[in-house]
Chain A
Amino acid sequence: MADLLEYKCPSCGGTLKFDAGTQEMKCPYCGSTINVETLASMDENLGVKEDSFDWVKMADNQWEEGEADAMKVYVCNSCGGEIVCDGSVAATKCPYCDSPVVMQGNLEGNLKPDLVVPFKITKKEATERYLKHLEGKMFLPKVFKDENHIDEMKSIYVPFWLFDCDTDASATYRATKTQMWSDSDNDYLKTDYYKVIREGTMEFENIPVDGSLAMPDDLMQSIEPYKMAEAVDFQTAYLSGYLAEKYTVTAKDSIDIANERVRNSTIDAFRKTVKGYVSVDNTSVNVTVNNGSCRYGLLPVWIMNTTYNNGKYIFAINGQTGKTVGNLPIDKKAARRYMLKISAIATAVVAAAEYVFLFVL
């Protein structure tokens, strides 16, 4: 039995019919005519693919015999953070939540980091960055500024999974161009509809996803990016004098975050290649991730915890670039006063403009 092929009108969804006179497909419902070649090209895209993510190589660097012996692991029973020190430092408090930590043992059974980005920002520089972060914030409570927590600044190597991958994407958009003109009776709007197809590939490298349960994901994403060209192969010597955290989220469990970011970036980049239209709507996008691989890296972070008015505030400074982030408390009274003041001034200015417009001009 022969299959009957039906083509749907891209405008109204009605079944198209072949018009022998014009040699084109015509929609009997809305009158649209579609070029047969155009339809044929659209036909190629009928099969809907699903996104797929193919990660082939995961971090699996192992410690050599005796290499990690000097490493001690401390556990915070409050936030679950696991701190690694090389014996030159004795961890007593959790750098995330300030709770006391207890020694758990050594690093047995854990992966060895592939690479490390060494600290470049000193404690003095980190302090300066933090103080600069507080500057120019009109609604920051004065008391918060005056209280000095700078001694609490801690340096820590945070475990990150660094993902590399290629993406292959195909996207279809429905786009429009418009033209307007008028005669004596009517205003006319002509809308041209287009089907836009983009297919291609992109490459990503070193997308960082933190492997720490205790470290908030958004805080770590906010101090991105690190200059990975300056990363070096991991040596235990780099940990000397610093705290490091052992990963508490595996690479496998971090992949979803990387997948989502890769997918969104690919969609954004493809969308930007559709130019010259008034409106562009995605009709279908599919992204496949190929040749995915992942490395385990330690990235340097200065961190500071403080409490104010029963609220906890955590600040992070990129230990390589000095980028400083951390949400600050707000002085609500100051904000209200400011709003009243500005509103009053703006009202007066607008009223003055009205007087000039109504009575002077």
Chain B
Amino acid sequence: MKKLTGIGLSLMLVLMMCLASFTSVWAAEKPRLIDDANLFTAEEENYLSVLLDNFREKNDFDVVVMITKEGLEDPELTERADDYYDYEGYGCGENNDGCLLLIDMGSRVMHVSTTGYGITVLTDYGIDKMTDDIAAKLGEKDYVGAVSDAFMEDLEMMYKAAEEGEPYDVPDSSVDLDIKDPSTHVGIFLLALPFGLIIGGIKTFRKKRQLISVKKKKAASDFVKPGSLNLRRENDYFLYSTVTATPKPKDNDSGGSSTHVGSSGTTHGGGSKSF
């Protein structure tokens, strides 16, 4: 019995390994460029597919480009991109690392969906830059350039940055001060000077005011008979209320990637832009 279980287990293991390798091979053979809008010639399609495949093989990071003309807009566009990526089984490694660029020529809106390590590589700020660059190329009707130059070049740059430990994100506004740098001291002096002048000005003004003791009196409060104020009517009527709501400022500069969960239960990052 024990032996049987052992054989069964090893058999299952072998089967699973086969299945895994099959999935991986199958995944590798899946098209990474889906052009439902017939935007590209067969030649261009070939060229771009090679670019996408090469990136995947080199970095173990899936890249999919999908062109539709269904006239989708958010939130359907985001759902479509996420679902296509999840249900078609794209992605590398156990976290399905990768990203998908969906361009809808019908609604002229694009969406970049990120998954797994893709969420780290493409931050909100990065996606904003990337979609800006793509939109510029699409505006020039340079569809190949939109994918090969704008999308892929930005992706290469951002992937490299993430690999180096600093994902492409909101520029760090804090400045590192160097105490040896003379300009630091000039800056500190220039910052302190207005405060110094204000304090000096106020103190001088106060001392100057000591010289003035003659003032016109506007009221006669010294001559009110003590306790003579007698109110015969004191009414406070409530009239009405107004309520104003001010939206809380959203912290846009915090950087990082915002995420949501797709219908398959997978967490995605991403961002859309019209062009």
A-side residues, CB < 8 A to B, are 10-11, 32-35, 38, 41-42, 133, 136-140, 170, 175, 182, 184-208, 216-219, 221-222, 224-225, 258, 260-262, 264-265, 268-269, 273, 324-330, 335, 338-351, 354-355, 358-359
Q: Is the CB of A327 within 8 A of B195?
A: no
What is the distance, in angstroms, from A44's C-beta to the closest C-beta of chain B?
10
Q: Which of B8-16, B82-90, B218-226, B256-264 lines the interface with chain A?
A: B218-226
B204 contacts chain A at the CB level, 8 A cutoff: yes
A346-B230 CB under 8 A given contacts A186-B245, A191-B241, A326-B213: no
B246 at the interface (CB under 8 A from A): yes
| Alpha-carbon distance between A325 and B231 when the two chains are bound, in angstroms | 37
Interchain CA distance A33-B231 in the complex, whole Å:
30
**Which A residues lie within 8 Å of B225 (CB)?**
202-205
The chain B residue with its CB closest to the CB of A184 is B248
Give every chain B residue within 8 A of A197 (Cβ-Cβ): 233-237
Q: How far is the CA of A208 from the CA of B244 in the complex (A)?
A: 51
Interface size of B by Cβ–Cβ distance < 8 Å?
54
- Among A10, A193, A273, A324, residue most surrounded by chain B Cβ atoms (within 10 Å): A193
Closest chain A CB from B215 CB (angstroms): 6
CB pair B213–A327 under 8 Å, yes or no, is: yes
List residues of chain B with CB under 8 Å of any chain A CB. Answer: 177, 179, 188-189, 191-193, 195-197, 199-201, 203-204, 207-208, 210-225, 228-248
Chain B min CB distance to A36 (Å): 12
Given A261-B218, A326-B214, A340-B200, the answer on whether A359 and B238 have CB atoms closer than 8 Å is no
17 A-B pairs with CB atoms under 8 Å apart are A42-B237, A188-B246, A189-B244, A190-B241, A196-B237, A198-B233, A198-B234, A200-B231, A201-B230, A202-B228, A222-B213, A326-B213, A329-B211, A339-B204, A343-B196, A344-B200, A350-B195
Q: Check B228–A261 contact: CB distance below 8 A.
A: no
How far in angstroms is the closest Cβ of chain B from A138? 5
Across the A-B interface, the 6 shortest Cβ-Cβ residue pairs: A347-B196, A343-B200, A203-B228, A200-B231, A346-B199, A199-B233
Do residues A221 and B216 form an inter-chain contact, with CB atoms below 8 A?
Answer: yes
Which B residues are CB-close (under 8 A) to A137?
Answer: 207, 210-211
- What is the minimal beta-carbon distance from B46 to any residue of chain A, in angstroms? 50
Residue contact A346 to B195, C-beta cutoff 8 Å: yes
Task: Kindly name the residue among B191, B192, B234 whose own CB sees the greatest number of chain A CB atoms within 10 A.
Answer: B192
Give the residues in chain A near B192, CB-CB below 8 Å: 347-348, 350-351, 354
Are B220's CB and A207's CB within 8 A?
Answer: yes
Give the residue of B200, B220, B229, B248 whose beta carbon is less than 8 angstroms from that of A187: B248
Least CB distance from A230 to B in Å reads: 15
CB proximity of B47 to chain A, nearest CB, Å: 48
Knowing A194-B238, A327-B211, say if A188 contacts B244 (CB, 8 Å).
yes
Asked, given contacts A186-B245, A346-B199, whether A269 binds B229 with beta carbons under 8 Å apart, the answer is yes
Complex contact B243–A189 (CB within 8 A): yes
What residue of chain A has the Cβ atom nearest to residue B199's Cβ?
Answer: A346
Which of A139, A338, A359 is within 8 Å of B177, CB to CB? A359
Q: Would you call B236 and A186 a contact (CB within 8 A)?
A: no
Known: A38-B237, A199-B233. 11 other contacts (CB 8 A): A33-B240, A38-B238, A187-B248, A224-B222, A262-B220, A265-B219, A273-B231, A324-B213, A327-B211, A338-B207, A343-B201
Which residues on the B side are within 8 Å of A136 (C-beta)?
210
A50 to chain B, nearest CB (A): 19
Which residue from A133, A217, A265 sits with its C-beta under 8 Å from B221?
Answer: A265
Give A188's nearest chain B residue, CB to CB. Answer: B245
B191 touching A264 by the CB < 8 A rule? Answer: no
Instruction: Write out the residue numbers on chain A whose beta carbons fall within 8 Å of the beta carbon of B211.
Output: 137, 139-140, 327-330
A206 contact from B195, B223, B233, B243, Cβ within 8 A: B223
Contact of A346 among B196, B207, B215 (CB under 8 A): B196
Chain A residues within 8 Å of B207, by CB: 137-139, 335, 338
Count chain A CB atoms within 10 A of each CB in B215, B220, B233 and give the residue with the most. B220
Most buried by A among B218, B222, B223: B223
Contact status B200-A339, CB under 8 Å: yes
Interface contact B239-A194, CB-CB below 8 Å: yes
| CB <8 Å contact, B241 and A192 | yes
Q: For residue B246, which residues in chain A have a CB less than 8 angstroms away from its CB?
A: 186-189
Chain A proximity of B120: nearest CB distance (Å): 27
Is B235 a contact partner of A350 (Cβ separation < 8 A)? Answer: no
Q: Report which of B188, B216, B228, B242 forms a contact with A191, defined as CB distance below 8 A.
A: B242
Which residues of chain A are near B238, meaning CB under 8 Å?
35, 38, 192-194
Contacts of A191 in B (CB 8 A): 241-244
Report whether A327 and B208 are in contact in the complex, using a CB–CB cutoff of 8 Å. Answer: no
Q: Separation in Å of the A78 CB from the closest CB of chain B?
A: 21
Contact A354 B239 (CB under 8 A): no
Instruction: Give the complex CA separation of A217 and B224 in angstroms.
Output: 20
Inter-chain CA distance A349–B198, complex, in Å, is 13
Contact A354/B188 with A346-B196, A347-B193 known, Cβ cut-off 8 Å:
yes
Chain B residues positioned under 8 Å from A133 (CB to CB)? 213
Are the C-beta atoms of A273 and B188 separated by less than 8 Å? no
CA of A185 to CA of B203 in the docked complex: distance in angstroms?
Answer: 45
A136 to B102, CA, bound (A): 80
B230: A residues at CB distance < 8 A: 200-202
B residues near A204, Cβ cutoff 8 Å: 220, 223-225, 228
Contact between B199 and A342, CB atoms less than 8 A apart = yes
Interface core residue of A170, A219, A339 (most chain B CB under 10 Å): A339
Given contacts A185-B248, A327-B212, A347-B195, contact A195 B239 (CB under 8 A): yes
A266 to B25, CA, bound (A): 94
In the bound assembly, the distance between CA atoms of A195 and B222 in angstroms comes to 30
Whether A225 contacts B223 by the Cβ 8 Å rule is yes
Q: Report chain B residues within 8 Å CB of A189.
A: 243-244, 246
